Amino acid sequence: MRFKSIQAKVLIALVICLVLGTGCVVELMHYFTAENSRALGTEAATGSQKLFTILEAREISKMTAVSDALIANTGVRDAFAARDRSRLLALTAPLYPQLKSEGITNWMFHTSEPDMSVFLRLHNPAKFGDHLNRFMDKEVVRTHAIVAGNELAKAGFAVRIIRPVYDAKGAVTGYLEFGEELGQFIHALKSQTGNDYGLLLNKKFIDKQFWADSSATLKRRDNWDDNAGFVVADRTTANDNIIRFHGDLATVPQLGTVLEQYRDANSVFVRAIFPIRDAAGNTVGAMFVVRDITAVYAEMRKTQNILLAVTVASLSIGILLMLMLLNRFIFKRLQRILTAATRLVGGDFETEIKTDSDDEVGQLEHLFEQFRNIFVTVMAEISETQVSK
């Protein structure tokens, strides 16, 4: 096949179409794979966020019910009203291990305003007297009603309820507070979703020295310097590499966002993040979500490979059929015309062009056959004229 022939040019054009078509299909499949991965990440973020809200509401409801039962106890109420710390501790200390086993890690009694300081910490009885000035503390003083929500302290993030305690005459004698560390939520989230989680806290809401001291007390590594704007308060895996976030937690969208898809050995994961706001509406932290999409990704790649093979096979068969049709209906017939014309020029006046189609090539064959007949007649007349002379 000569490179300058129409047949060669058509073949080259068809091969280019095959390559371009295959490339477009590959890019399209990569696009849909990325979109599917993003959809899985979005699903992990939104699903985890909804589950987090449900867990939060459940724990608030539990702490509220426990506080209802506790302030109904006249002995506890009278000891608190009398500011008898030893008696109050004796009455409540036996209850704390049971509440702690149910997740209520913080339990405090506070004096009433204007002093409003910690009167008794069941989880640390030796520490008391520090004054309170947090948002929820101010809200319970303002409303004298139950206030619930998330709040970030110097070295931890907890969901809390705080409510007024009244004496027999209906006067506020102080406040009762329960709290659960949000770090424990991530383990509940993992058990229900199978995803890995990390609780990130904004550094500007945490005291660095308090964080270092609490890390030493809890015998954990001080990870303050690991990240620029946040610290990892807790996570569901020992692998620090799963948490890679370089932005500002305050800019994380309310509904969360997908960060990236990445590989680790033979596994494929997608990272997402959603914000955690405190009772005052500040974005004080975020929940980092890592979903293992290895199985789904493998199925997508399998489907992608099948689709690619089918596409290449279909295009190849299409090109082959097109070449066969072009060869049958155009190139072979043009070759016959070219052969007949060559013979005619060489003096062979007997080679006829048979026309069996009314298509464009058939019309060309018919015209060439008319030309050949005229040419043969003219050449015969010339020969006769020369003989007669």
Q: Are residues 333 and 371 in the same domain?
A: yes
Question: Can you give the pLDDT at residue 314?
Answer: 84
Residue 251 contacts residue 215 (beta carbons within 8 Å): no
Q: How far apart are CA 80 and CA 77, in angstroms?
A: 5
Question: Can you give the pLDDT at residue 32?
Answer: 85
Which residue is it, tokens 């005459």?
169
129: left (phi over 0), alpha (psi -120 to 50) or beta: left
Question: Can you give the pLDDT at residue 381?
Answer: 77
- Dihedral (C-alpha) 209, 162, 63, 157: value to the nearest 10 degrees? -20
Instruction: Indicate the number of domains in the chain.
Output: 2
Q: How far apart are CA 74 and CA 241, in angstroms?
A: 52
Q: Are residues 253 and 305 in the same domain?
A: no
Handedness of CA 348, 352, 358, 362 (dihedral sign): negative
Q: How far apart are CA 106 and CA 49, in angstroms?
A: 24
Of 267, 298, 329, which residue is a domain's last?
A: 298
- Dihedral (C-alpha) 23, 26, 30, 31: value to the nearest 10 degrees? 60
Residue 252 counted as domain residue = yes
Which residue is it, tokens 């993030």?
157
Q: Which of 152, 148, 150, 130 is nearest to 139 (CA)?
A: 148
User: Cβ contacts of residue 376 below 8 Å, gap of 6+?
Assistant: 349
Cα 166-167-171 angle, rounded to 5 deg = 65
Q: Are residues 188 and 284 in the same domain?
A: yes
Question: Can you give the pLDDT at residue 3?
Answer: 56
> Within a 13 Å sphere around the CA of 189, how many CA atoms are in the beta-carbon half?
32
Long-range contacts from 247-250, C-beta under 8 angstroms, 24+ separation: 249/200, 249/202, 249/275, 249/283, 249/285, 249/286, 250/202, 250/283
CATH of the domain at 193: 3.30.450
Which burial class, exposed, middle or buried, applies to 104 when counting CB atoms under 10 A from its CB (0-12, 13-18, 19+)? buried
Would you write out the chain's pLDDT as a tens digit for each of its 389 residues?
A: 555 677 777 788 888 888 888 888 888 888 888 888 889 999 999 999 999 999 999 999 999 999 999 999 999 999 999 999 999 999 999 999 999 999 898 999 999 988 899 999 998 899 999 998 889 999 999 999 999 999 876 556 889 999 999 987 888 999 999 999 888 888 889 999 999 999 999 888 888 888 888 788 777 888 899 888 898 888 898 877 778 888 888 899 998 999 988 888 888 999 999 999 989 888 888 999 999 999 988 888 888 888 888 888 888 888 888 888 877 777 777 777 778 778 777 777 777 777 777 777 778 777 877 887 887 787 777 777 776 65
Domain of residue 243 covers: 184-298
Q: Are residues 248 and 350 in the same domain?
A: no
Residue 254 counted as domain residue = yes
Instruction: State the alpha helices, DSSP H only, in the chain.
Output: 6-71, 74-81, 85-92, 96-101, 135-143, 183-193, 208-217, 294-326, 332-345, 360-388
Instruction: Give how far the C-alpha of residue 366 lies from the chain's centroid of Cα atoms, to the nearest Å.
Output: 67
Residue 252 contacts residue 282 (beta carbons within 8 Å): no
Residue 304 counted as domain residue = yes
Q: Which of 106, 109, 110, 111 is nearest to 123 (CA)?
A: 106
**The two three-digit tokens of residue 249, written as one number:** 């937690």
Of 262, 277, 298, which residue is a domain's last?
A: 298
Question: Can you give the pLDDT at residue 2?
Answer: 57
Of 249, 282, 298, which residue is a domain's last?
A: 298
Q: Are residues 376 and 343 in the same domain?
A: yes
Q: Are residues 192 and 293 in the same domain?
A: yes
